[in-house]
Chain A
């Protein structure tokens, strides 16, 4: 009984709990409740992963209707892997929610903030779990709409236009996805992913199918903030409340990339899509540009959250570079980096929440001297930053090694050059943060009240930082699992 419910639990639990905070408007209750729901979702995801590892893919048919007719969930290793990551990191980030919203969200909105958070979580989990294309669109919109709310929830008025721009871009992206789905349906007559994958080979040469695939990929690229469709991301991340930035950076773009992997490698068939439609060359070039441009832009930022946001643009480039190598090693590298990047950015954004908690600003100069005043927060920034650069014994190193190795095995030397350039820039922007933290005297006036953030913020940040170290040493869950997923994908594609 309980096992049968497992696949839908990560979606249904937050979906049902979200409206509760409309009734019970107590922020504390909403926060504790949301954490409980997050724990349930995470536990279910972990249980699913164990089940999939043990017994192979899990199927769930809604309302008892079998797949091609009804909506079906199909959770394979890839889905379980990403779901564990998303629900796990967002759960840890939600611990920080209670303290985080205190400073950044007005009292009457706090309970609703958690409603939006739960809806977003439900949407993201749904995108990972579903086996139906149209259902994917619906979950995409659920997560997107709640994300716009979350971004605009803070006190900073600049978040409002940022959220609006995100809404416009996001809706255009989602509508592209919708067009793509419609055209694919027109070409094949099915919406079920597995069914579609079976029917596509014979329908592949139809123009409607080609157009549909391209629309779908462009739409997903907007959601994943792949260069040059990233414009919404820096503003949204920089202006949103800090916990929201942490949550989004760790989950939203990751799920978009997951969807990309799902449709390109499972549904369309990697070979056909990547080669016939020149997707591989185009996306490789764009991803390389993303790495160089994003890292370069990050180097020039004065606002720490914008800096991290541009760094995210670059990291998405790394992930796509790996995926676009389109062999097992490349996929493994991309997925490993996807996993690790969620941990890095989660830790770093949470550390920035801690920085601003006692009235600190979010500019680089505001970090000055915090190494002594907030030693633990500073340590989190150090670990996250080193992980971003890719220093050994941090998670970032593993992904970078695998990426360079995959590229070297294919003889793609220019790609290694891109990774190197990106790492050198990363060294620059992380270095600027570290230098401000430890070797710069704080501004003369003010800042007297700055002390270590409360435990409610510190603990989740430290947990994520520790995860960066842990997965830099024990790579069974990250690179190991990613390798198995990649092997399965390689077989499918």
Chain B
């Protein structure tokens, strides 16, 4: 893999994620888009830690070039945050569905206007 290919991949994921968030009328699809968007950022972080020709950051005798472990640690935290967000969002969706019987934005707006 040359130096920029992974960056393009990340950008593509990021853009498609954001596009889904904005373009979908269905709340669940929005959430999927959000997830794709977040994952692209996780990949960005992991790619930051790469050191050319280095070993994984596990201390072993005879190795002196390690990948940078800090981004991995950070992104582990970010992933946990992402999961929490996802769980909360899903819980919200369940309650929306219970209250309205639909997850479609237009239908939701219409139902509130009736009320």
Nearest CB in chain B: distance from A228 CB, A: 14
Q: Is A149 located at the chain interface by the 8 A CB criterion?
A: yes
Which residues of B sit under 8 angstroms from A171, Cβ to Cβ? 34, 38, 85
B38, B70, B74, B93, most chain A CB atoms within 10 A:
B74
Whole-angstrom CA separation of A182 from B42 in the bound complex? 10
Whole-angstrom CA separation of A134 from B77 in the bound complex? 10
Whole-angstrom CA separation of A185 from B85 in the bound complex? 24
Of residues 51 to 104 in B, which have CB atoms within 8 Å of A's CB atoms? 70-71, 74, 77-78, 81, 84-85, 88-89, 92-93, 95-96, 99-100
Nearest CB in chain A: distance from B74 CB, A: 5
Q: A172-B21, A172-B34 are in contact. Are A145 and B92 (CB under 8 A)?
A: no
Contact B41 A175 (CB under 8 A): yes
Q: Is A39 located at the chain interface by the 8 A CB criterion?
A: no
Whole-angstrom CA separation of A186 from B48 in the bound complex? 6
Q: A160-B92, A175-B41 are in contact. Are A138 and B99 (CB under 8 A)?
A: no
Q: Is A168 located at the chain interface by the 8 A CB criterion?
A: yes
Q: Is A161 located at the chain interface by the 8 A CB criterion?
A: yes
Q: A134-B77, A164-B27, A182-B48 are in contact. Are A175 and B38 (CB under 8 A)?
A: yes
Contact B78 A137 (CB under 8 A): yes
Nearest CB in chain B: distance from A22 CB, A: 15
Which residues of B sit under 8 angstroms from A179, Cβ to Cβ? 41, 44
Which residues of B sit under 8 angstroms from A167, Cβ to Cβ? 85, 88-89, 92
Q: Is B18 located at the chain interface by the 8 A CB criterion?
A: yes
Q: Is A263 located at the chain interface by the 8 A CB criterion?
A: no
Contact A164 B92 (CB under 8 A): yes
Nearest CB in chain B: distance from A161 CB, A: 5
Whole-angstrom CA separation of A152 from B93 in the bound complex? 11
Which residues of B sit under 8 angstroms from A145, Cβ to Cβ? 81, 84-85, 88
Contact B34 A157 (CB under 8 A): no
Which residues of A sit under 8 angstroms from B34, Cβ to Cβ? 168, 171-172
Whole-angstrom CA separation of A88 from B31 in the bound complex? 36
Nearest CB in chain A: distance from B105 CB, A: 8
Q: A137-B78, A138-B81, A186-B48 are in contact. Are A168 and B30 (CB under 8 A)?
A: yes
Which residues of A sit under 8 angstroms from B96, Cβ to Cβ? 160-161, 164
Contact B95 A160 (CB under 8 A): yes
Which residues of B sit under 8 angstroms from A178, Cβ to Cβ? 41, 45, 78
Smallest CB-CB separation from A176: which chain B residue?
B41
Whole-angstrom CA separation of A185 from B41 in the bound complex? 14
Q: Which label, helix, strand, loop or mixed, suits the secondary structure of the B interface?
A: helix
Nearest CB in chain A: distance from B44 CB, A: 6
Nearest CB in chain B: distance from A184 CB, A: 11
Whole-angstrom CA separation of A226 from B20 in the bound complex? 23
Contact B84 A148 (CB under 8 A): no
Whole-angstrom CA separation of A441 from B34 in the bound complex? 49
Smallest CB-CB separation from B30: which chain A residue?
A168
Whole-angstrom CA separation of A179 from B112 in the bound complex? 36
Q: Is A115 located at the chain interface by the 8 A CB criterion?
A: no
Whole-angstrom CA separation of A186 from B50 in the bound complex? 11
How would residues 12 to 28 of chain B score, 1 for a CB under 8 Å from any chain A CB and 0 otherwise? Answer: 00000010010000010
Whole-angstrom CA separation of A164 from B105 in the bound complex? 11
Q: Is A163 located at the chain interface by the 8 A CB criterion?
A: yes
Whole-angstrom CA separation of A180 from B57 in the bound complex? 25
Which residues of A sit under 8 angstroms from B70, Cβ to Cβ? 185, 191
Q: Is A432 located at the chain interface by the 8 A CB criterion?
A: no
Smallest CB-CB separation from B14: which chain A residue?
A179
Q: Is A158 located at the chain interface by the 8 A CB criterion?
A: yes
Nearest CB in chain B: distance from A329 CB, A: 39
Of residues 100 to 158 in A, which have CB atoms within 8 Å of B's CB atoms? 134, 137-138, 141, 145, 148-149, 152, 157-158
Which residues of B sit under 8 angstroms from A191, Cβ to Cβ? 70, 74
Which residues of B sit under 8 angstroms from A185, Cβ to Cβ? 48, 70-71
Nearest CB in chain A: distance from B6 CB, A: 13
Whole-angstrom CA separation of A145 from B80 in the bound complex? 12
Contact B41 A182 (CB under 8 A): yes
Which 8 A-B pairs have CB atoms at the shortest separation, nearest pair first?
A157-B99, A141-B81, A160-B96, A164-B92, A186-B48, A182-B45, A161-B108, A134-B74
29 A–B contacts, CB within 8 A, in A order: A134-B74, A137-B78, A141-B81, A145-B85, A148-B88, A148-B92, A157-B99, A158-B112, A161-B100, A161-B105, A161-B108, A164-B93, A164-B96, A167-B85, A167-B88, A167-B92, A168-B30, A171-B34, A171-B38, A172-B18, A172-B21, A172-B34, A172-B37, A175-B38, A175-B41, A178-B45, A182-B41, A185-B70, A191-B74
Binding site for B on A (CB under 8 A): 134, 137-138, 141, 145, 148-149, 152, 157-158, 160-161, 163-164, 167-168, 171-172, 175, 178-179, 182, 185-186, 191
Add 11 more A-B contacts to A160-B99, A179-B41 (CB < 8 A). Answer: A137-B78, A141-B85, A145-B85, A152-B95, A157-B99, A164-B92, A168-B30, A168-B89, A175-B41, A178-B78, A182-B45
